[in-house]
Amino acid sequence: MNANTVYYRNAPRINVLRGYYGNENFALSGVAPVDSSVTSGPFSGQVMFINASGNWVLASSAVTPKGQCPYLAMADATDSDVVSAGKLLGLSCAGQYDVQTPYFDITQTYARGTALTYSATSGLLTPATATSSDGWIQNPSVDIVGFVTAGVVDLNVGGPGNMNGSLTGYVANAGINSTALPLLSGSTYAGQSIAGGNAYIGKLPVLQFVTRWTPARDVTNTTS
């Protein structure tokens, strides 16, 4: 390895702002191996679930069973400590944590209070569409992972999210400091293409939301 080489992440790692106390017994988390069917990821911040074999699989609207508790990956599956242990830590969305993740559908809008569910793209979050007059908590038609708080935050603008702050991490298999960079046209960010004219060009966006898993309920409202 060239000691003068600088490594860059494709996207920043998950940032838990409030509510997480590590592996204390009152913190809701899970540890499991990554399923052999997963060929890319999970990466830190992606949404996932534990399948029938007891392994992590990336969540999506197509494959995640209703009522299956979602988790957020706390590390990359390719991080050296994860590889050596053979297991990955996930943050349970059944707990209430204020988090930031780069793994969200960048084509959507995220107003405060927007309910979030699984995207059709594995590992990404997207806004949920209301189909019940009773609202999200009583009768959601899809599993709700959480609710948007601050919305999309640009970590490239000062504060703790600047280039020397929360973006510093360790690139998979490199073992040296690495930093995510602002987006350029033609970049790939969190597995998504950034086309010319995209609102996120020149930024480093993460979605800030509070986890609050609400299982889907197949309920039909009737009146008498």
Residue of 58, 45, 41 whose CA lies nearest to 101 = 45
Find residue 30's DSSP bridge partners. 90
Backbone dihedral angles phi then psi of residue 56, each to the nearest 5 degrees: -75, 135
Phi, psi values for residue 129, rounded to 5°: -105, 125
Beta strand 205-214 with 47-50 is unpaired
| Residue 77 covered by a domain | yes
Q: How confident is the model at residue 139 (pLDDT cuts 50, 70, 90)?
A: low
Task: Assess if residue 6 is contained within a domain.
Answer: no
- Out of 67-71, 78-82, 100-104, 186-190, pick the least confident: 186-190
Q: Which residue has the tokens 């913190």?
A: 27
Model pLDDT for residues 2-39, shown as the tens digit of each residue: 454 545 677 889 999 875 555 554 455 789 999 999 99
Q: Would you say residue 28 lies in a domain? A: yes
Helices assigned H by DSSP within the chain: 80-85, 135-138
**pLDDT of amino acid 19:** 55
- Angular region, 151: left φ>0, alpha ψ -120 to 50, beta rest: left
Contact 13, 169 (CB under 8 A): yes
Query: If you average pLDDT over every residue of the chain, what do you get?
Result: 79
Q: How many CB atoms lie within 10 A of CB 139?
A: 18
Query: How far apart, in whole angstroms, are the C-alpha atoms of residue 211 and residue 217?
Result: 18
User: Does residue 8 lie within any of the structural domains?
Assistant: no
d(CA 148, CA 146): 7
Query: Would 222 be classed as within a structural domain?
Result: no
Q: Nearest CA to 5 among 188, 189, 174, 187?
A: 174
Residue 2 maps to a domain: no
Residue 221 resides in a domain: no
The reply to whether the predicted model has a pTM over 0.75 is yes
The count of structural domains within the chain is 1
- Asked if residue 152 belongs to a domain, the reply is yes
- Top pLDDT among 185 and 207 is at 207
60 close to 117: Cβ distance less than 8 angstroms = no
Provide the phi-psi class of 56: left if phi over 0, else alpha when psi is between -120 and 50, else beta.
Answer: beta
Range of the domain at 149: 15-214
The one-letter code for the residue type at 6 is: V
- pLDDT score recorded for residue 182: 74
